[in-house]
Each structure stands twice: as C-alpha cells, then as structure tokens.
Structure 1
C-alpha cells in the first residue's frame, strides 16, 4: 500500500523532535500534537511540491502540445496558401484555355462564314451566268420568232399574191 505524503513525513519529523534537547518531554501530549501538526505540514509541503512538479510537467506538456498545434496550424495555413495558389493558377490556365478555345471557335466560325459567302457568290455567279444564258436564249428565240413571223408574213403575202394573181391571171 502506498504511503500518503503526510504518513511519509511523520517518521522524519518525529526523529527531529526526539533529537532536540530543548524540548520538554514532560509535555508528551503537546509534543505529540505538535509532531502530528508538523507531520501534516511537512506532508502537505511534500504534497504541494509533488503537485507543483506535476503542474510544471503538465504545463510543459501543454506547452509542447500547444507548440505542436501551432506548428500544425502554420503547416495547414501554408498548405492552404499553396492550394489557393494552385487553384488560382488552375483558374488562370482554365481561363487561358477557354480564351484559346473561344478564339479557335471564332476563327472557325469566320472560316465557315467566308466559305459560305464564297459559295454563295459562286452560286450567284453561276445563277447569273445561267440567267444570262437563258436571257440570250430567250432573245435568240424571240429573234427567231420575230424572223419566223416576218417570213410567215412574207409567205402569207406571197401566197395571197400568188393566189390573187393566179385568179386574176386565169
């Protein structure tokens, strides 16, 4: 069984008082009371020393723990700054990529627009060419029709003349 600090201090205090020649041993009860009181005081002082030692050890442990936690907090803050920097760089890269893709898309749209406009011009030119050919054919057909009408008119006139002249001459 473990001794309490008071019990551990009693034999030491008793030895001190029994060795002191100035003490009046006739007053045994008083001496026992004083011895007990001194034992208690010494025990409590020892206990207080132990408590102080434990408190110092705890304070040291807490201080070390606090320092460890502060170091860990600094590490977390450092990692957070690194992550924020990486996130910012990633955002910048993403923005640059979006701009590059947008520029490529705009260039492709422009190329498609130019190709479509060229194709439209080509189709218009071809259509204009066909219209001109059709107009030429129409003019030629109209000219032939006019010429044919004139010939038909001449033939009709000649036939009338022949017919009238044949009748008159007969």
Structure 2
C-alpha cells in the first residue's frame, strides 16, 4: 500500500454539491494557518449549506486530493476590478511538493478571459508565497495595503498572462 504522504495529489475544481468537502477543507485551513488566512464574515464555522453554496456564485474552488483526503485548497473569485486568487492552503505534510502551484495553475487555466486580469494579495513577509506566485508568472504591481485583521501589510501581484509555467 502506498503511503498517503508519498502519493501525488490530484487537483480539480469542486462543484457546489461538494460544499461539505469545501467546508471541511476550509475550516482545517483556517485552523492550521490563522496567521495568513482571513476568516469570512460571519466566520465560516457558522455558515449554512446555502451560504457555502453561495460561495460559488462569484468564484471557483480548486482542491488537491490524495485518495479521499483533501490536502490543498484554493479559490479564484471575481470582482468588478478583476479576479483574485485567495485562500490558498496546503496541508503541512504536503508542502513544497507543487500542490499549491497545481491548484493555482488550474484556476488560472479555467479563468474566463472576459472576467479581467488575475491578481493575488500576499501578506508580508511570506517568502514562500512570493516564490510560488512569481514562479507562476505573477509580478508586483507595487501596490500595498494595511491588513488590520492580520496586523500586516499585503502586496498585490498581477498575473502577466499566458500560461503559468509548470
């Protein structure tokens, strides 16, 4: 039997009917990385099935899975100003193995061209996230903002187009 930590996770988009899988992964991510992930308002732990399903209205969710276990999560949401990569998380025992890269690439590839440019905000300092996004073709916009909820500055990066590098 193959050890779950040695199996290569597979990434895919979630469907709204998979809201329970999304809820479990998002709550695990928030518990694991409260210093870099912002909870929703109200907190996701209080959301109903309907509220979870509504999270697909202006977004797509990607997961990475090893068998029936979710080991990564990422979201692409659309706003009036463009699309944003958000909520990127990889379970600790699967980090540095390309899981986040695969999920972000999946979201970029699935992004409709008419939905505008793709951006990501990275709370600083976060060298690992900056390496991830620059390796996929994101570049700094030189725009920063204060993120009071995390007591940190975050920097905006823009995807420069084309296909993200493998």
Query: Under TM normalisation by the shorter chain, which class is it?
Result: under 0.3
The two structures have a TM-score, normalised by structure 1, of 0.15
Larger Rg: 1
Structure having the larger proportion of residues in strand:
2
Structure having the larger proportion of residues in helix:
1
